[in-house]
Amino acid sequence: MSLSRTLVIASNVFREVIRDRVLYLVALFALFLVVCIRLLPEIAAATENKIILDVGLAAMSLLGLVIAVFVGTGLINKEIEKRTVLVLIAKPISRTEFIVGKHLGLSAVLAVLVATMTAIYMGVLSFSRIPYPALSILINSLFLFLLLSLITAVAIAFGVFTSSLLATLLTFTVYLMGSFSANLVVLGAQSKNSTVEAATQTLYLVLPDLSRLDLKNQAVYGLLPGTTQLLENAGYGVLYIVLLLAIATLIFSRREF
């Protein structure tokens, strides 16, 4: 795999997504924060401003998720539907470079999006004199980017062999189930049914445990896991991304155009 060709594909994806006015979501996010702070001052004061912190982090996650899913599922599928993939694979570009380049390009957009929203979030909170745990917020943003990058890999994996609509539905399903996959194991154990327990264990092993990368609830209170656990969770996310991209490449390489 050529790094230079992969980076060319990634830069093209980055420019294309930016041109689609995705970053207008940043302005929407800033407006949303200001409105929340103006409309909920009494509630925020009664709960020590935690509601503002919670809503801001949740909004960051939601906007990032929308981009990761809707853009990610169309990255490959759009090329297939428009038949432009025929031109690309006719060039000296391997399908691995094509898949990885697409993922890196959208991940770069998500990195810019998360970094910008984090800066706006902390700036608005500072301007409004709302106290917040800065280090925890920054670590949460880093893990949010990792989570969104993983969801992008899921979206690409589905997008290489299904329609955009079905890929979107499947990716949202994986996100929802992955967010609660650890709870599925607990529910399976409580059912006292060996079949249900085995099924929940299998789902937990197959689905990504997104709770490892979702730190917003702890970040609000400045109560993050220890360094060792954070590194383990980050490694888990990276490993899952690599595995998903490998699966996407394998499926894509077997498709006939």
Token pair 């917040």 in the structure block, residue: 132
Which stretches within the chain are classed as H helix? 3-19, 24-39, 41-46, 50-81, 85-90, 95-127, 134-159, 164-179, 181-190, 194-206, 216-220, 227-253
Q: pLDDT: is 217 or 21 the higher one?
A: 217
Q: pLDDT: is 77 or 177 the higher one?
A: 177
Q: How confident is the model at residue 44 (pLDDT cuts 50, 70, 90)?
A: very low
- Check: CB of residue 168 under 8 Å from CB of residue 69: yes
Residue 110 phi, psi (nearest 5):
-65, -35
User: In this predicted structure, what is the pLDDT of residue 243?
Assistant: 94
User: In this predicted structure, what is the pLDDT of residue 152?
Assistant: 95
Tokens of 160: 């290489």
DSSP class of residue 225 equals P
- pLDDT more than 90, % of the chain: 33
DSSP one-letter string for 122-141: HHHHHHTT----HHHHHHHH
Token pair 């745990």 in the structure block, residue: 133
Tokens of 179: 């967010």
User: In this predicted structure, what is the pLDDT of residue 25?
Assistant: 82
Q: How confident is the model at residue 198 (pLDDT cuts 50, 70, 90)?
A: confident
DSSP one-letter string for 55-85: HHHHHHHHHHHHHHHHHHHHHHHHHHHTTTH
Residue-wise pLDDT tens digits, 225-249: 889 999 999 999 999 999 999 999 9
Does residue 163 surpass a pLDDT of 90?
no
User: In this predicted structure, what is the pLDDT of residue 195?
Assistant: 72
Work out the angle between the directed axes of helices 95-127 and 134-159 (0-180°, nearest 10).
Answer: 150
User: In this predicted structure, what is the pLDDT of residue 139?
Assistant: 94
Q: Burial-class residue 161 by CB neighbours within 10 Å (0-12, 13-18, 19+).
A: middle
Q: What is the mean predicted confidence (pLDDT) over 9-29?
A: 82
Domains of the chain by residue range:
3-253
Residue-wise pLDDT tens digits, 64-102: 999 999 988 888 877 776 666 666 665 667 788 888 999
First-last CA distance in the chain: 22
Does residue 254 surpass a pLDDT of 90?
no
User: In this predicted structure, what is the pLDDT of residue 38?
Assistant: 76
Q: pLDDT: is 108 or 26 the higher one?
A: 108
Q: What is the mean predicted confidence (pLDDT) over 124-147?
A: 90
Does residue 109 surpass a pLDDT of 80?
yes
Rounded CA-CA distance 167/188 in Å is 28
Residue 248 phi, psi (nearest 5):
-60, -40
Rounded CA-CA distance 50/67 in Å is 26
Structural Rg of the chain based on CA atoms: 20
Query: What average pLDDT does the chain have?
Result: 83
Q: pLDDT: is 23 or 130 the higher one?
A: 130
Residue-wise pLDDT tens digits, 214-227: 998 888 888 888 89
Name the residue type at position 203: L
